[in-house]
Amino acid sequence: MENEVKLAAGAVVSLAIATAALVVLPYLQVRDVTPPPGLKPYTSAQLRGRDVYIANGCVYCHSQQPRDRGLGPDLARGWGRASVPGDYFYDKPHLLGSMRTGPDLFNIGARQPSKDWHLGHLYQPRAYVPGSIMPSYPYLFEVKDAAEPGDEVLNLPPGQGPFGRVVVARPEALDLVKYLQGLDHTYPVLPPPLKAKAGAAAPAPVHAASAAAS
Ligand code: HEC
């Protein structure tokens, strides 16, 4: 019986430690995060585009978290500075991603601002990047005999579109591209405030001094 009590107590303590380390501490670390001044909230079109991004599983191949220089060559790859918690202020759910079958997209809006390029690349990635393994998304587009007023017709590279017909972007494709163009976190961010650092460091010399004195 005594062993069962020990087992149950051990389980409860292990669970409490895990909850503190994985839930409570991270929550305390990020609960006061504010958006950097350069970060704009999403527009409603960008939010719809974000839903298209989620629905089509883009996150399974693309991350949105450039790493610090010490952890990888992301800056040298042109993916931008290391992201900070505030960059994700408006992201619910976050789309950090864990796989990089394709490039990181956290700053794709700055790297590739062209709407034409994005629409064409979604319709047929291999028309722009020979040998690309990114899937094409033809159902985000409509092939028509002729464009109607208000249609967004794709300017595909010569020989890539259906012969004698036009490819028109559906609203989902247009929203998705607005979201991609808005992925621009190239504004500067400040390092963590000195106050917090000084506050954390200040008690240390006091302890060191009293330890030396005793
Ligand atoms: C199976 C993995 C895979 C999926 C799923 C995928 N991609 Fe890609 N993506 C890639 C690869 C590989 C590349 C690099 C080759 C290229 O540019 O086509 C790429 C490139 C890109 C680029 C250009 C990046 C740059 O730096 O030039 C964009 C933008 C992009 N993908 C957006 C998307 C969007 C939006 C979706 C979802 C609708 C998506 N991808 C889904 C693999 C994927």
What per-residue confidence (pLDDT) applies to 192? 62
Q: Distance (Å, rounded) from C-alpha 130 to C-alpha 117?
A: 14
Distance CA 149, CA 132 (A): 33
The minimum-distance atom of ligand 1 relative to the CA of 176 is 35
Average pLDDT over residues 202-214: 41
16 pLDDT tier (thresholds 50, 70, 90): very high
Q: What is the mean pLDDT of residues 186-212?
A: 56
Does the beta carbon of 135 lie inside 6 Å of ligand 1?
Answer: yes
CB 86 within 8 A of CB 189: yes
Measure CA of the first residue to CA of the last residue in the chain; give whole Å.
Answer: 47
Distances in Å between the Cα of 41 and the Cα atoms of 36, 124, 155 are: 11, 30, 30
Position 211 scores a pLDDT of 40
Nearest residue (by CA) to ligand 1, atom 2, is 61
Q: From the CA of 118, give the closest atom in ligand 1.
A: 29
Apex 188 CA angle, 187 and 191, nearest 5:
145
pTM: predicted TM-score of the whole model, two decimal places? 0.85
Under DSSP, the state recorded for 77 is T
Q: Is the CB of 103 under 6 A from ligand 1?
A: yes
In testing the pocket of ligand 1, which one of 50, 54, 56, 62 has its CB within 8 Å of the most ligand atoms? 62
Tens-place pLDDT, residues 148-177:
999 999 999 998 889 899 999 999 999 999
Of 112, 86, 102, 111, nearest in space to 94 by CA? 86
pLDDT of residue 1: 62
Indicate which residue's Cα is closest to atom 9 of ligand 1. Answer: 102
Q: Using the mean position of ligand 1's atoms as its centre, give its distance from the Cα of residue 103 in Å.
A: 7
85 CA from centroid of ligand 1 (Å): 24
Q: Is the CB of 45 under 6 A from ligand 1?
A: no
Q: What's the 152 CA to ligand 1 centre distance in angstroms?
A: 22
Task: Give the fold, CATH level 3, of 37-191.
Answer: Cytochrome Bc1 Complex; Chain D, domain 2 (1.10.760)
